[in-house]
Every structure is written in structure tokens, then in C-alpha cells.
């Protein structure tokens, strides 16, 4: 805001502004005020959008946290079963692994043969 004071002897009618410069400064102030109002409005809408995005991201993180917890529980149960299986006879485990390896070998052989 730019104000030009005439001095102590200014008349009360023009409130200390010079008549020639008052309208120029007033127009400049109005233009700057409108520009500032536009920028504040843009910042306000941007901050509202950021707040909405943060809420959505927090919701998604919360859902991911519950998904990871359930996956961790499933993994823990699987590890428990694997420990139980490994406590059994080693021969049985070795047979299962060999059968699985043969199965994978035949599947790969069949896929290559089809090409």
C-alpha cells in the first residue's frame, strides 16, 4: 500500500493524499488486492486438495497395514506347518521334494516340447 502524505498542512477533505496521485494509487492497490485475493483463493483450494489427498493416503496405509498383518499371520502359520513337517521323517520330506522336482521338470519339458 503506497500512500503519499502532503504534510501537516493537508486539508481534511483529501485525507492527506495528493489529488493527482490518489486515483492512480487506489487503482494500483485495487489491482494488487485482487491479485492477492486470487492467489490466496488458489492456495486455499490447493491446501484443501492436499488435505483430501493426505486423508486418502492415510486410509490406504491403514488398509495396507491390515493386509500386511493378515499376510504375516498366514506366513507364521505356514512356517509352523513347515516346522512340523521338518520334524517328521527326513525320508518322507526328501521324497516329497523329489516328486515336486520331477513334476516341475515334466511341466517344463512339456512346455518346451509344445513350442
Q: What is the pLDDT of residue 29?
A: 93
Across the chain, which has 115 residues, the per-10-residue mean pLDDT values are 48 51 86 95 96 95 90 87 73 84 93 85
DSSP per-residue letters across 52-88: HHHHHHHHHHHHHHHHHHHHHHHHHHHHHHHHHHHHS
Q: What is the pLDDT of residue 12?
A: 46
Q: What is the pLDDT of residue 79?
A: 86
Q: What is the pLDDT of residue 10?
A: 46
Q: What is the pLDDT of residue 2?
A: 52
Taking the C-alpha atoms of residue 110 and residue 112, their distance in angstroms, rounded to an integer, is 6
Nearest CA among 58, 76, 79 for reference residue 68: 76
Taking the C-alpha atoms of residue 69 and residue 71, their distance in angstroms, rounded to an integer, is 5
pTM of the prediction? 0.45
Q: What is the pLDDT of residue 83?
A: 80
Amino acid at each position: 500500500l503506497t500512500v503519499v502524505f502532503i504534510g501537516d498542512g493537508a486539508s481534511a477533505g483529501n485525507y492527506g493524499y495528493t489529488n493527482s496521485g490518489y486515483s492512480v494509487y487506489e487503482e494500483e492497490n485495487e489491482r494488487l488486492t485482487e491479485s492477492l485475493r486470487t492467489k490466496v483463493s488458489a492456495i486455499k483450494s490447493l491446501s484443501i486438495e492436499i488435505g483430501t489427498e493426505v486423508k486418502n493416503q492415510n486410509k490406504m496405509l491403514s488398509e495396507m497395514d491390515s493386509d500386511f498383518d493378515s499376510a504375516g499371520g498366514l506366513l507364521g502359520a505356514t512356517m509352523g506347518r513347515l516346522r512340523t513337517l521338518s520334524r517328521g521323517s527326513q525320508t518322507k520330506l526328501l521324497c516329497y521334494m523329489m516328486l515336486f522336482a520331477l513334476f516341475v521338470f515334466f511341466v517344463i519339458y512339456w512346455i518346451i516340447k509344445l513350442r
